[in-house]
Structure 1
Amino acid sequence: MSATPVLFIHGLWLHARSWDDWIDLFEAAGYAATAPGWPGDPDTVEKAREVPEAIADHGIDDVVAHYAEIIRALPTKPVLIGHSFGGLIAQRLLGEDLAAAAVAIDAAQIKGVLPLPLSALRATLPVFRNPANRHRAVSLTAEQFRYAFGNAVSVEESDALFERWAIPAPGKPLFEAAAANVNPHSPAKVDTDNSGRGPLLLVMGGRDHTVPEAVTRATLKQYRHSEATTDVLEFEDRAHSLTIDHGWRDVADASLSWLKAQGF
C-alpha cells in the first residue's frame, strides 16, 4: 500500500519551507509529505524577497487551481494541512472533493463569516492602507510581523522567525476575502454544505491577532448543515506563529492524532 500523500499549504507572508519540520515529522509517521509553494513562489526565502513581483497579483482562484493541478497528478486524494490563507485554500479543495481530509490552522475567513475583529484589521493594515496593493506583493516589518504572528512568543523569537521565514505576500487574496460577503461569486466561497466530503479539523490559537478565535468559531457555524465530520481544536495560549514557533510540535502532534482517529 502506498503512503497517503499530505500537502502542506502556507499562507501569506510565510515561505513554503516553513513546513520543513512538519514534513519530517509526517514522513516519519508514514505519510508522503510535500509543501508545494503558491504560484510564482521562488524556491527560497532569499529569492522571494529579491523578486516580490513573482508573487504579486495571485488571487484565491489562482492558488486553488494551482493546488488542484498538483492534486490531480497524485495517485490518490491527499490530506491537506493549511495555515492562514492556506487553511482557506484547503477548505475550498476539500469542499470540491479533491482531498481526503483537511486540517485548517488559523484559517482565513471564508465567505459567510461575519466577525471582523479590530486586531485582524490592524494585522492586515499594511496591505489595506493602499488600494494599489491589490496588485502588489507587500512585505511586513519585523514589528508588524510581531503583531500579526509573534505576539505570543518573545520578541527575540518573533524576530528570529521573521528573519528565517517571512517573505512578501500578494495583497489580492486579502482584498478578495474582505469583499467576500458582498460578492456572490467570491473566490472565498467554500461548499460548506457538502456532506460527502472528507473530515475537517479547524485549529485556532486563542491569542491570534490575525485570525482571532471569533473568526474560527464563525467558520465552524458555516458547516452546520453538513453531516461530514467537522471538528475544532483550540490552543489557548498560541498566536498566528503556532505552526513555526517553538511549540509547533504540539500542533503537529495534535493534527497527527486527529488524522489517526479519522482512519488515516
Structure 2
Amino acid sequence: METSKTKTIVFVTGAFVTHHGWKDWQTYFESKGYTTLAPPWPYKDGTAAELRARQPNDTDLAALTLSHLVDHYADIVKALPEKPIIIGHSLGGLITQILINRDLGVAGVAIHSVPPQGVIPYEFSFLKAGWKALGLFTSLDETYLMSFEDWQYAFVNEMSLEDQEKAYEENTIPESKTVARGGLTSAAHVDFEKQHPPLLLTSGSIDNIIPPHLNKRNFKAYEQNGSVLEYKEFEGRNHFVVGQPTWKEDADYILEWLAKNA
C-alpha cells in the first residue's frame, strides 16, 4: 500500500485520561521535524481538574459512543492536507487500528492497544482493571471516574506512591460508560484480512489493564498478507507508558520505525 514521507502526526488519546498527556511527546516529535496534533475527545477539552468537577453529571460525555468517537478522529484526519501518521494509546490504539484499517493514515502505531472486536480479552488482570468502566447495573446517564485505588492497579503499578498521586491528579478524568461498552461491539471491528498501511503494535511487560499476552494476540489476529506489521514488547512498562520516565526510549523506537516505514 502506498506511503509517503509525511511529517504530520495525530496522537489519539485513550480512555480515562486527558489529551494533555501527549504534551511531552508532541514537543519531542516536533523537535524531530514533525507537525503534531493531539485533539481531545468530544466534551473533554479541559484540564483534568475541570473535567473531574463535572463528575458524574456530564450528560454529553456520558452519551458519547465509540462509533461517534471513531468518526470524530476520522473527520480530523480526513480534514488534513495529507494522510498523517496516527499514534494512539490504549483505546486510542484501538482507534488507530480502525483508522489504519480504513486506510486513513500512512502508518500507525498502537501503544498498548485495546483489542478490536473478536480478540476476546479474557486475561484476569484486564478484567480486574477494566470491568468497572462498563458501569454494569449503574446509570448510563452518569460518567465513570476511576478511583485512585483502581488507577494504581490499572495504570501506575510499580511506581512510587508520590508519582502515582501526581499522575492521577494531572491525568485522570471521567469517562463515558457507553464508549467503554462499545469496545465489545461492531464499533470496534477491524478487518484483519485486509491489506493495510504499516502498523506497529507495542506492549509493556508489567501492564495490567492491557497485558502483553493480550497485545500479542491482537497482533497475531492480523492476516500475514504482505502488509508491514510489527510487534514490540518493552520491559518494565505499565499502562501509564506515555508518561513513564522511560517514555522517550519508546518514542525513539517509534521514530526509528517511522523513518523506515512512513
Settle same-fold status: TM greater than 0.5: yes
> SS of the counterpart of 2:187?
coil
Please say if residues 84 and 108 of structure 1, whose CA atoms lie closer than 8 Å, have aligned partners that are also in contact. yes
Q: How far is 1:203 from its partner? A: 0.5
Structure 1: runs of 5 or more not aligned: 181-185
The TM-score with structure 2 as length reference comes to 0.92
Partner residue, 2:211: 212
Partner residue, 1:238: 237
Q: How far is 1:225 from its partner? A: 3.9
> CA-to-partner distance for each residue in 1:207-244, whole Å, 9 max, x for gaps?
11101112111111111243211100111211101111
RMSD: 1.8
Partner residue, 1:194: 194
Partner residue, 2:132: 126
CA–CA separation in structure 2 for the residues paired with 1:246 and 1:133: 37
> CA-to-partner distance for each residue in 1:130-164, whole Å, 9 max, x for gaps?
33354532111211111000003222211110111
CA–CA separation in structure 1 for the residues paired with 2:6 and 2:228: 23
The count of residues paired between Structure 1 and Structure 2 equals 256
> SS of the counterpart of 1:203?
strand
Partner residue, 1:76: 82
Q: 1:129 to 1:227 in 2, by over 3 A?
A: same
Match of 1:153 among 150, 159, 169: 159
The amino acid across from 1:224 in the alignment is E
1:1-264 matched pairs, under 5 angstroms = 4-52=7-55, 53=58, 54-128=60-134, 130-132=136-138, 134-177=140-183, 179-180=184-185, 186-195=186-195, 197-262=196-261, 264=262
CA–CA separation in structure 1 for the residues paired with 2:90 and 2:16: 10
The amino acid across from 1:187 in the alignment is A
Q: 1:192 to 1:174 in 2, by over 3 A?
A: same
Partner residue, 1:183: none
Q: 1:2 to 1:207 in 2, by over 3 A?
A: closer
Structure 2: runs of 5 or more not aligned: none
Q: 1:2 to 1:224 in 2, by over 3 A?
A: closer
The amino acid across from 1:249 in the alignment is K
Please say if residues 134 and 178 of structure 2, whose CA atoms lie closer than 8 Å, have aligned partners that are also in contact. no
> SS of the counterpart of 2:197?
coil
> CA-to-partner distance for each residue in 1:30-49, whole Å, 9 max, x for gaps?
11101001122123222211
Q: 1:113 to 1:3 in 2, by over 3 A?
A: closer
Q: 1:204 to 1:47 in 2, by over 3 A?
A: same
